[in-house]
Chains A and B, each alone.
Chain A
Amino acid sequence: MWLFIVSDAITFSAVIFAYGYLRLAATAWPRPFETPSIGNATVMTFVLLSSSVAMVLAVRASSLGKVSGAVGWLVATALGGVIFDVLHIHEWLGLIGEGVRPFHNPWGTPMFGAAFFTMTGLHMLHVTIGVVYLLIIALGFGRRKFSAVDVEVSGLYWHFVDLVWMFIFPLVYLLSAKTA
């Protein structure tokens, strides 16, 4: 899992560097995120960080052999992921409603949409896969098919997804906050 995480980190880095390239080369990069958007993204960050703590507790419960505790915390972690996804899709629909498309938007550099949807979309895909992964692990650990190590490895993946958001949130949202 560590090797997968490092390679996935490079994938995300490439996407983030591509965004940096586009933004640095652009003359009028949009800063469309108003205070409600920033608030929404901040809440999403809190939810993801808190779900990571639930994951830590799930890993600990599983290593102590507490099956129901581990399953409970795993489901709580997955629930955090679902809340994150729902808030994020709501955000996406808002932007699409304002007329943002991958190669067109009402404010400035056309590539804004492509960069935004690629970065946040790739991350949202990871969260969604993570939710499915955690629920499978919860089910399997509850039936004693999976071991505590399996729970721990799924935790590594989940914390990594959390970690990536710690870069996407400031780069995409905070640096494009509408401040004036």
Chain B
Amino acid sequence: MEHAETAGNKIVFSVWFGLLGLTVLEVILAYRQLPLETMLSILMVLSVIKAALIIAYFMHLRYEQASLFVTLIPALVFILIMMTVIFADSSRLAHMRSLVQ
């Protein structure tokens, strides 16, 4: 857990305000009449940005050795992508249900 430097006050509070701001933006977006897919995409992009900010600055992964990042993040992203296979079956189910109705 050794690291040479961590984020200073200025960075920590900027990240905090950034996260609060992104949250407000998400709430405002929720009340826009957008198609669900568009909304989902925008919200997920914003959430990934927020998660990245938290990991990089609050969990100070940015200030750790690069090998820690390489060990953890690519494998996690790969697993998440693999999990998306279930959605093909989900839309099949939705299609079948719409035929029954």
Residue of A6, A25, A174 near B75 (CB, 8 A) is A6
Interface size on B, residues (CB 8 A): 47
A156 close to chain B: CB less than 8 A: yes
Interchain nearest-CB distance for A110 vs B (Å): 13
B97 touches A25 (CB 8 A): yes
B91 touches A42 (CB 8 A): no
Residue of B1, B26, B36, B83 near A13 (CB, 8 A) is B83
Residue of A17, A24, A27 near B83 (CB, 8 A) is A17
Q: Which applies to chain B's interface (DSSP): helix, strand, loop or mixed?
A: helix
A163 touches B90 (CB 8 A): no
| Contact residues in A for B76 (Cβ distance below 8 Å) | 6, 9-10
Interchain nearest-CB distance for B39 vs A (Å): 7
**Nearest-CB residue, chain A, relative to B13:** A53
With A27-B94, A45-B23, A52-B58 given, is the CB distance from A38 to B16 under 8 Å?
no
A14 close to chain B: CB less than 8 A: yes
**Nearest-CB residue, chain B, relative to A153:** B1
Name the segment of A65-73, A92-100, A133-141, A165-173 touching the other chain: A165-173
With A14-B83, A21-B86 given, is the CB distance from A175 to B72 under 8 Å?
no
Interchain nearest-CB distance for A61 vs B (Å): 12
Produce 1/0 per residue, A79-113, CB < 8 A to B: 00000000000000000000000000000000000
A49 close to chain B: CB less than 8 A: yes
How many A-B residue pairs have C-beta atoms within 8 angstroms? Tell me. Answer: 115
Residue of B27, B55, B101 near A27 (CB, 8 A) is B101
With A160-B59, A175-B39 given, is the CB distance from A38 to B12 under 8 Å?
no
Q: What's the Cα separation between A4 and B78 when bound, in Å?
A: 17
**Nearest-CB residue, chain B, relative to A29:** B36
| Contact residues in B for A24 (Cβ distance below 8 Å) | 87, 90-91, 94
User: Max chain B CB contacts within 10 Å: which of A9, A50, A53, A63?
Assistant: A53
B19 touches A49 (CB 8 A): yes
A149 close to chain B: CB less than 8 A: yes
10 tightest Cβ-Cβ pairs between the two chains A and B: A174-B30, A25-B93, A170-B43, A24-B90, A159-B58, A21-B90, A166-B50, A25-B90, A177-B30, A163-B54
A sample of 6 inter-chain contacts (CB < 8 A) reads A13-B80, A17-B86, A24-B94, A25-B91, A45-B23, A179-B31
